Structure 1
Amino acid sequence: MSDAALKTSPLHDRHVALGAKMADFGGWEMPIEYPGGGVVREHTAVRTSVGIFDVSHLGKARVSGPGARDFVNRCLANDLGRITEGKAQYTLCCNDSGGVVDDLIAYLRSDEDVFLIPNAANTAQVVRMLAAAAPEGITVEDLHESYGVIAVQGRKSDEVLQALGLPAGHEYMSFVEADWHGHPVIVCRTGYTGERGYELVPAWEVAGELWDALAEAVAPFGGLPCGLGARDTLRTEMGYALHGNELSVDITPVQARVGWAVGWKKDEFWGRDALVAEKEAGPKRVAWGLLATGRGIPRAHCEVKLGDEVVGEVTSGTFSPTLKNGIALALLSPDVAAGDEVVIDVRGREVPATVVRPPFVEVDVREG
């Protein structure tokens, strides 16, 4: 996709004014990092204090009408019956073969109103699938450019929200529909960094004003605007799956170790039969973490060898600013076990690594 065709967030002019390095994320021109220290500085701000992220490229959709909750529950993998109104749930949109079309967050507003946050590039497909399956009386709306999304992440995130008069301190994976200067804002205790934090969902036209207020509020704590480069290093340290890397139409929840987001006791959801069969038979590859023990930064698609045998490949790799070390997520043969010493082929150079179970960094996201 050419730069001219890229969509821009409601905060685009703010990023440009700050001199951010921009790149294509799912068809959206978004900030990778800001001047003055880049990814490592921004990553460290989140791990030690607080950072704010523009993630308005994420999709937004709404399923409404009588029986909306039950309809969504018959489609998406996780069990919406496990949560109550005001709670959010990580879930998966799978195809008939059990591959993951997208992973997303479902906000349960009521039995007749489910708000969804899919990934940017997959929003249209998720909406199409839901709309095609919807019975009479159920409406599926693509609201991608109706709302912005701003993530406030880090141990000082509660104080930042309180400075703006926004609710804070509610339970992990719950949300509050708040009022900010006369504008509705959803405040959800979620995030993609492993730190205590929130994701704020304002109307598109309000996002700029809210971002400016947040940028002012984080400054006394040493907080920073953070780009999607730091978001990626933070989530990789936690072992969080990224769609297109650790999850895809070719990588199932069973292989990716996200079976906890599947309602196995449900009678119906997209891909159920294939996933149940795979779970019973055992997957042919399994997600693991790799901690480099030699110099080198693993990258996606690097081969992983155990002895002379290729046992899998890296799905995500980066330098960990916290550990000051190369780390990776990988899909490996089920014969591989934690503690195994492997070799990663990084552009023809063999980098030794230890197989580990993520997270690489211990953070209690629920308590912060």
Structure 2
Amino acid sequence: MTEQELLTSPLHDRHEALGAKLADFGGWQMPIEYAGGGVLAEHKAVREAVGIFDVSHLGKATVAGPGAKDFVNSLLTNDLDRIAPGAAQYTLCCDEASGGVVDDLIAYLISDDEVFLVPNAANTTEVVRRIQDAAPDGIGVTNQHRDFGVIAVQGPRSADLLQALGLPTGHDYMAFERAEYDGVPLTVCRTGYTGEHGYELVIPWDRTATVWDALMDEGSALGVAACGLGARDTLRTEMGYPLHGQDLSMDITPNQARSGWAVGWKKPAFWGKDVLSAERSDKPARLLWGLLATDRGIPRPHMQVRSADGDAVGEVTSGTFSPTLRKGIGLALISRDSGLSEGDEVQVDVRGRTSVMTIVKPPFVESHVR
């Protein structure tokens, strides 16, 4: 896809004005980092103060009609009966035949008759297609990808920033509230992808810039930083949060990725239940672990992982330099047959050099989600 064919967010001109380095994310031209700071400074702002991210490339879709909640609950893995209207839930859309992950997404339970879904950008069309194909008469499934912008406000001072705009901040983690800023209706949800206290704002597309500008203006006294998707990746990797297409995919099941906590195993049905239940019973052939470098090596996706004896045991799925730890960290799928577990050392081929890393259980740094 050429640069001219890439979609742009409602904040594209703001990113250009801030000197953002732009790249293709799921068919959208989005900021990796901004001039004057870069990934390390943006990462630090989120861990110590507050950062705002444009994540308008994320998908949006509404499933509505009599019994919409029960319908969605029969398809996606997590159990919507665990939450009440006004709460959101992390869930997975799996393939019925293979159990592979089509996408991971957030489901906002509006009511028994309406569910708002936020899939990943590149997978929105496919997720919507699958749900539309399964929908009975009376249930409508609407792709609203470009109806709403999304701004993530993340960091220990995120509540201070939203309060400065008169927005609600006291609701529980994974709960959402309807609100308004300067005549702009929006949804404030206690969610995020950074491991810090934070919120995500869902805003009408053509009013997203109004809220972004207010956040930047009011946040100047709080140490706010505009943050790109580069910092979002280092932050989520420090938490061990999976990224679809790397740590979850059509070839990597929830069991292998340790995402079984997001599966309602006792539900009567969801896509892929039979094959995933069988895999769970038999134990998956590989498991996702964290890797912490003991030297200067930085793991990257697709690098081979070997045991201390040199046997091939797995592959890195995500990896980066941790700005907090000042070390290389990563996630890797490791064969259960290898017998390797937490605390064991492995070798990673980092561009022809052997780097020694320790198997750990993420998060790599303390989570402050509360």
Under a length normalisation based on structure 2, what TM-score does the superposition of the two structures give?
0.98
Asked if the contact 2:19–2:35 (Cα under 8 Å) also holds between the matched residues in 1, the reply is: yes
Number of residue pairs matched by the alignment:
366
Alignment pair present for 1:13 and 2:13: yes
Superposed CA deviations along residues 297-327 of structure 1, whole A, max 9, x for unmatched, are 1100000000211110100110000000000
RMSD of the alignment, in Å? 0.6
- Counterpart residue number, 2:312: 310
Distance in 2, matches of 1:209 and 1:106, equals 26
Superposed CA deviations along residues 274-302 of structure 1, whole A, max 9, x for unmatched, are 10000000001100000000112110000
Asked if the contact 2:310–2:347 (Cα under 8 Å) also holds between the matched residues in 1, the reply is: no
- Counterpart residue number, 1:63: 63
Three-state SS of the structure 1 residue aligned to 2:14 is helix
Alignment pair present for 1:346 and 2:350: yes
Superposed CA deviations along residues 121-159 of structure 1, whole A, max 9, x for unmatched, are 000000000000000000000000000000000010001
Asked if the contact 2:346–2:358 (Cα under 8 Å) also holds between the matched residues in 1, the reply is: yes
Amino acid at match of 2:269: E
Distance in 1, matches of 2:180 and 2:36, equals 34
- Counterpart residue number, 2:273: 272
- Counterpart residue number, 2:184: 183
- Counterpart residue number, 2:46: 46
Superposed CA deviations along residues 65-93 of structure 1, whole A, max 9, x for unmatched, are 00000000000000000000000000000
Distance in 1, matches of 2:334 and 2:220, equals 43
Three-state SS of the structure 2 residue aligned to 1:75 is coil
Alignment pair present for 1:162 and 2:163: yes
- Counterpart residue number, 1:77: 77
Alignment pair present for 1:365 and 2:366: no
Alignment pair present for 1:198 and 2:199: yes
- Counterpart residue number, 1:220: 221
Amino acid at match of 2:37: G
Give, in angstroms, the shift of residue 336 of structure 1: 1.6
Amino acid at match of 1:9: S
Asked if the contact 2:92–2:104 (Cα under 8 Å) also holds between the matched residues in 1, the reply is: yes
Three-state SS of the structure 2 residue aligned to 1:161 is helix
Under a length normalisation based on structure 1, what TM-score does the superposition of the two structures give?
0.99
Give, in angstroms, the shift of residue 37 of structure 1: 2.1
Moved more, 176-185 or 52-61: 176-185
- Counterpart residue number, 2:2: 2
User: Structure 2: which 5+ residue stretches go unaligned?
Assistant: none
Distance in 1, matches of 2:4 and 2:350, equals 34
Distance in 2, matches of 1:215 and 1:179, equals 17
Distance in 1, matches of 2:121 and 2:340, equals 34
Distance in 2, matches of 1:138 and 1:100, equals 24
Alignment pair present for 1:113 and 2:87: no
Amino acid at match of 1:2: T
Amino acid at match of 1:316: S
Asked if the contact 2:104–2:120 (Cα under 8 Å) also holds between the matched residues in 1, the reply is: yes
Distance in 2, matches of 1:183 and 1:223, equals 22
Give, in angstroms, the shift of residue 184 of structure 1: 1.2
Give, in angstroms, the shift of residue 364 of structure 1: 2.8
Give, in angstroms, the shift of residue 222 of structure 1: 1.1
Amino acid at match of 1:365: V
Amino acid at match of 2:32: I
Alignment pair present for 1:143 and 2:153: no
- Counterpart residue number, 2:331: 329
Amino acid at match of 2:329: I
Give, in angstroms, the shift of residue 266 of structure 1: 0.5
Distance in 2, matches of 1:362 and 1:171, equals 20
Distance in 1, matches of 2:51 and 2:218, equals 10
User: Structure 1: which 5+ residue stretches go unaligned?
Assistant: none
Distance in 2, matches of 1:265 and 1:43, equals 39
Distance in 2, matches of 1:203 and 1:135, equals 29
Question: Percent of aligned positions with the same letter in both sequences?
Answer: 66
> Where has structure 1 moved over 2 Å in runs of 4 or more?
none
Amino acid at match of 1:23: A
Superposed CA deviations along residues 94-134 of structure 1, whole A, max 9, x for unmatched, are 00211000000000000001000000000000000000000
Distance in 2, matches of 1:290 and 1:216, equals 39
Amino acid at match of 1:207: T
Superposed CA deviations along residues 3-46 of structure 1, whole A, max 9, x for unmatched, are 11100000000000111000000000000000112000000000
